[in-house]
Amino acid sequence: MTDRTLLILAGDGIGPEVMAEVRRIIGWFGENRGLSFDVSESLVGGAAYDAHGTPLTDETMAMAQEVDAVLLGAVGGPKYDTLDFSLKPERGLLRLRKEMDLYANLRPAQCFDALADFSSLKPDVVSGLDIMIIRELTSGVYFGEPRGIINEGNERVGINTQRYTESEIARVARSAFEMARRRNNAVCSMEKANVMESGVLWRDVVQEVHDAEYPDVELSHMYADAGAMQLTRWPKQFDVIVTDNLFGDLLSDLAAMLTGSLGMLPSASLGAPMANGRPKALYEPVHGSAPDIAGQGKANPIACILSFAMALRYSFDEGVEAARLEAAVENVLAQGIRTADLLQSEGASPATTTEMGDAILAALDSSL
């Protein structure tokens, strides 16, 4: 019996295909590294709607609350575009994030040397890039009240409210400082304190948490628009970036595209520690469900596999084994093995989803 519990929610589109490769990786660690997992599975998104008429059942939500980590594939697709907003596949993912209170979204932007030419920036600017953006995920302008569209005189007015409490800022700041201690010990906090009162509070609270609890970590502050400029000028100046929900949404997508491989990147959403000390956690690839290639064996499983590597590191304190898996992926890419999304030359033969999984498993075997 293991004390490591996982819930797999493969979801829609290419989700089941890429998650099948993750299942093989999980099995390898059990057989070869003594890391066994108690794995359960359920439905989310369109698959859950097709089976149960809802994108996430109460039973699945309860399962997610009990396990150490949730691994999610992808949700959505044009098949569900006409559904009521409350029933769309994405509502299942949003419910997971909200009810699990996953307030810290970790988005690494890592550029493998073998893929440096995929970036629109010069290879020397992005080669070896390894930064982490931590986005506050459960508050800010996406959740603040009042919100909506109202009539004012003879025209409509759209309203959204940027709202943060001290405690909401402090807890995501702590996540950033803790992350920095695992990495290169530097945090850059980004906001718009020059024009927004919420930005003033953000800067004040992050500084207060730093001074009281993390004086050993280097802290800098930057306006978010200047941060976007610096990310495209010299991204390797950063280690950990912490920012609010809105700016984090924008900056993490920008940083991801610097690598030239948005579809290869993992993410983690973390919450408060559970009784066993592990944080509530959901891990998922950044890419979508790609329904146009679903079922064709063309999907790249690397983002989902790297999401499991993040689970090894942040939910199970298996940093050495996470690094082993990441190195196996880098080894495979260095060999020139590519799925269709990573091919640059005409006429080259792409690896299938399963073949990419085979190659990564072979690289793991070679690491022993």
pLDDT over 80 (residue 292): yes
Banded model confidence at residue 345, pLDDT cuts 50, 70, 90: low
pTM (two decimals): 0.92
* Position 277 in a domain: yes
Give the DSSP letter string of 147-196: EEEEEETTEEEEEEE----HHHHHHHHHHHHHHHHHTTSEEEEEE-TTT-
Q: 204, 239, 258: which is the final residue of a domain? A: 258
For residues 142 and 254, state if they share a domain: yes
* Position 179 in a domain: yes
* Position 122 in a domain: no
For residues 290 and 316, state if they share a domain: yes
Banded model confidence at residue 275, pLDDT cuts 50, 70, 90: confident
Q: 258, 278, 298: which is the final residue of a domain? A: 258
| Nearest CA-CA partner of 83 in 58, 56, 49, 57 | 49
Greater confidence, 69 or 264?
69
For residues 286 and 339, state if they share a domain: yes
Banded model confidence at residue 347, pLDDT cuts 50, 70, 90: low
What token pair was written down for 202? 């953000």
Mean pLDDT of the 344-364 span: 90
For residues 284 and 254, state if they share a domain: no
Q: Which of 126-135, 138-147, 276-285, 346-355 has the lowest mean pLDDT?
A: 346-355
Count how many domains the chain has.
2
Which H or E element spans position 231?
A: helix 224-233
* Position 117 in a domain: no
Q: How many Å is the Cα radius of gyration of the chain?
A: 21
Q: What are phi and psi of 33, to 5 degrees?
A: -125, 5
pLDDT at 120: 84
Q: Hey, how many other C-beta atoms are within 10 angstroms of the C-beta on 145? A: 9
pLDDT at 315: 96
300/295 Cα distance (integer angstroms): 12
Q: How far is CA 225 from the centre of its chain?
A: 22
For residues 148 and 253, state if they share a domain: yes
> Is 200 in a helix, a strand, or coil?
helix
Mean pLDDT of the 168-192 span: 97
For residues 76 and 140, state if they share a domain: no
pLDDT at 346: 65
For residues 239 and 341, state if they share a domain: no
For residues 254 and 135, state if they share a domain: yes
Mean pLDDT of the 24-32 span: 98
Mean pLDDT of the 131-153 span: 95
What is the tens place of the pLDDT at every residue in 194-225?
999 999 999 999 999 999 999 999 999 999 99
* Position 119 in a domain: no
Percent of the chain with pLDDT over 70: 99
What is the tens place of the pLDDT at every residue in 304-336?
999 999 999 999 999 999 999 999 999 999 999
Q: Which residues belong to the active site?
A: 142, 192, 225, 249, 253
Q: 189, 223, 258: which is the final residue of a domain? A: 258
Greater confidence, 256 or 186?
186
Here the CATH number for the domain that contains residue 138 is 3.40.718.10
322/71 Cα distance (integer angstroms): 15
Burial class (CB within 10 angstroms; exposed 0-12, middle 13-18, buried 19+) of 39: middle
For residues 253 and 274, state if they share a domain: no
Q: Structural domain of residue 292, as residue ranges? A: 1-106+262-368
pLDDT at 117: 85
